[in-house]
Amino acid sequence: MVDVGGGTGALLAEILRVRPEIEGILVDLPRTVARANAIMQAAGVGERVRLVGQSFFDPLPAGADLYLLKSILSDWPDREAKLILSRCAQAACPNNGRIVLLNGVSSDEKADPELLMMVLVGGKERTLTEFETLAKEASLKVQATGWLPSGRFAVECRPV
């Protein structure tokens, strides 16, 4: 699995810790992933993770079964969000991998605006209908949606 824009990797480390059969790739800017090694080692998963210091606007590591985007798309306006999704679609295509989003998409027809992300970077929370349009433009099709036990709304896509 690839954690796209996963910061220092705390979520990925926990997933790998509880699922020993999974290998992971953490993608974030070089300065950020440089701090991830200590987190991975402390979780005991350092040998099953590869750290990739790059922008998620660049081509992503290809061929993974899953690309996870947690709290990423809502930080970006549609043009950049579409590019991030397109990069995921391109990378997932060889293995028909899944793209899973946590946060940034609302199940309701009215997304909750977050003033800070709108003012600082032009990002926005998207309704599922808005997201489906954006996903289609990025060569993705929404396969499943639903509420997780944590209360987060998740969206799963596949390349078309």
- Is the CATH number 3.40.50.150 carried by domain 64-160? yes
Joined tokens for residue 5? 């824009």
**Residue 147 β-bridge partners:** 153
Give the model confidence (pLDDT) of 51-82 as tens digits.
999 999 999 999 999 999 998 888 888 899 99
Most confident range (mean pLDDT) of 73-77, 88-92, 129-133 is 88-92
Please give the structure tokens belonging to residue 116: 């800070």
Ranges of each domain in the chain = 1-55, 64-160
Angle between helices 128-137 and 78-92 (to 10 degrees): 60
CA angle 152, 112, 88 (to 5 degrees): 55
pTM of the model: 0.85
